[in-house]
C-alpha cells in the first residue's frame, strides 16, 4: 500500500539507496519487535527515506543533506514529531537562515493546515527570530480556506497575545462574523480580544448591543447566544443586568420565536429573577410565583417540543428548580419562626 503522500514527489525522484552521495550511510530498518501485532505495509519510498533518517539521527549527523532528508520525511509524514524536532536541531547546528525556513514551513502549512506539528514548528521558528510580522497574514490566508481551523486560531491567538497585536483584531473578527454569523471561532476570538482589554461598563454596553443585533438577524444561532452569556457573566454577573437584554428576549418570545437557545436563556433568566424577588424580602409573592411558573412552563416546553432529544435534562432542570425553591422557602419559614 503506497503512502498517500507519495504523490507529492516528482517523477524523477530517486531513492536514497540509489544515490551515490549517500553510499556512506547504511539505512536502519524500523524495529517493530519480534511479533508485531499489525504490520504496516509502507511504500518503498517511505521505508527508504525513514531508513536513512533513522541512520542519520543515530549518527547525529547535522548537515545540509540531512536537512534535505527531513524535507522528504515531512512530505511522507508531516505529523511525525521526530522529523520536525531533528530538523530544528539541524537548523541550529548549521546556523541556517531562519527566514528561509519560515517561508518553507509556510508552504507546508498551506498543504497541511490541520496538522499540529507543522504549526508548532512555525511557532518555534517565529520565537527564534522574535519576528511575528508574517503571522497574522499567514493565519488569515489559512482561515480564508477554513474559517474554523482550530490550529490557525490557536496560532493567531498565541502570536497576538505574545506580541501584543490586539489593535486591529476586532475589525478582522467583525468581518468574519459579518460573513458568517454562525462562525463560533470568530465569536470566541472576539471574546478573547475583549477580555484582554477588560470588560468596562462601556465595553459591556457596546457589546451587548452588538450581539443582540446579530441574534435578531438569525435567532436560532447558538454562537451569539453563547457570546451573550459570556458577556453577562462579567459586570454584576446577572443575566438581567441589562434591561435591554430582558426586553429583547421577551419581545422575541412574544413574537412567537421558539429558538431553544432563547428558551434556555429565559429559563435561567427567570430562575435568577425568581430568587432575586424572594431574597429581596419585598413580599411580592405574586411576581415570584409568575417567575416560578415561567421556569416550569419553559422547561416543559423544551422537553416536549423544542429540545426533545434532551427531555430528561430539562425535566431534571425543572425538578432541581422546584427543590431549590422549596429549600429556600423552608429556610425562610425557619428564619421567620425564630
| Residues designated catalytic | 114
DSSP 302: I
**C-alpha to C-alpha distance for 233 and 237, rounded to whole angstroms:** 4
Query: How far is 139 from 155, CA to CA, in rounded Å?
Result: 8
* Per-residue cell: 279: 431574597
Q: Are 46 and 3 in contact (CB under 8 A)?
A: yes
Return the closest-CA partner of residue 54 out of 77, 70, 37: 70
From CA 54, how far away is CA 330, in angstroms rounded? 72
Rounded to whole angstroms, what are the CA distances from 2 to 40, 42, 47, 306?
11, 6, 11, 50
- Other beta carbons within 10 angstroms of residue 266's beta carbon come to 21
Which of 147, 189, 186 is closest to 166 using CA atoms?
Answer: 189
**Calpha distance 199→48 (Å, rounded):** 57
Looking at the chain, the number of H-run helices and the number of E-run strands are 15, 0
Distant-in-sequence, close-in-space partners of 265: CB < 8 Å, separation ≥ 6: 225, 228, 229, 239, 249
Amino acid at each position: 500500500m503506497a503512502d498517500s503522500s507519495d504523490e507529492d514527489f516528482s517523477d524523477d525522484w530517486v531513492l536514497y539507496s540509489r544515490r551515490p552521495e549517500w553510499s556512506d550511510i547504511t539505512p536502519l530498518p524500523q524495529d517493530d519487535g519480534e511479533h508485531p501485532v499489525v504490520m504496516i505495509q509502507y511504500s518503498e519510498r517511505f521505508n527508504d527515506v525513514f531508513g536513512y533518517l533513522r541512520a542519520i539521527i543515530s549518527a547525529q549527523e547535522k548537515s545540509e543533506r540531512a536537512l534535505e532528508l527531513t524535507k522528504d520525511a515531512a512530505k511522507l509524514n508531516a505529523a511525525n514529531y521526530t522529523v520536525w524536532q531533528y530538523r530544528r536541531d539541524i537548523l541550529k547546528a548549521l546556523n541556517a537562515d531562519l527566514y528561509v525556513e519560515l517561508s518553507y514551513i509556510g508552504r507546508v502549512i498551506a498543504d497541511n493546515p490541520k496538522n499540529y506539528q507543522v504549526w508548532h514548528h512555525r511557532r518555534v521558528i517565529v520565537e527564534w527570530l522574535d519576528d511575528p510580522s508574517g503571522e497574522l497574514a499567514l493565519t488569515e490566508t489559512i482561515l480564508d480556506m477554513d474559517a474554523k481551523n482550530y490550529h490557525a486560531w490557536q496560532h493567531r491567538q498565541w502570536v497576538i497575545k505574545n506580541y501584543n497585536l490586539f489593535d486591529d483584531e476586532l475589525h478582522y473578527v467583525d468581518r468574519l462574523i459579518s460573513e458568517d454569523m454562525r462562525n463560533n471561532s470568530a465569536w470566541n476570538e472576539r471574546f478573547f480580544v475583549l477580555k484582554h482589554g477588560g470588560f468596562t461598563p462601556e465595553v459591556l454596553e457596546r457589546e451587548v448591543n452588538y450581539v443582540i443585533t446579530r441574534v435578531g438577524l438569525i435567532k436560532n444561532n447558538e454562537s451569539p447566544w453563547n457570546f451573550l452569556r459570556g458577556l453577562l457573566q462579567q459586570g454584576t454577573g446577572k443575566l438581567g443586568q441589562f434591561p435591554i437584554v430582558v426586553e429583547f428576549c421577551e419581545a422575541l418570545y412574544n413574537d412567537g420565536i421558539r429558538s431553544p437557545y432563547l428558551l434556555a436563556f429565559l429559563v435561567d433568566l427567570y430562575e435568577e429573577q425568581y430568587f432575586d424577588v424572594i431574597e429581596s424580602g419585598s413580599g411580592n409573592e405574586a411576581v415570584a410565583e409568575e417567575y416560578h411558573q415561567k421556569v416550569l412552563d419553559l422547561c416543559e416546553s423544551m422537553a416536549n417540543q423544542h429540545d426533545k432529544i434532551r427531555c430528561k435534562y430539562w425535566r431534571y432542570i425543572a425538578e432541581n428548580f422546584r427543590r431549590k425553591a422549596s429549600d429556600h422557602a423552608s429556610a425562610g419559614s425557619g428564619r421567620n419562626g425564630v
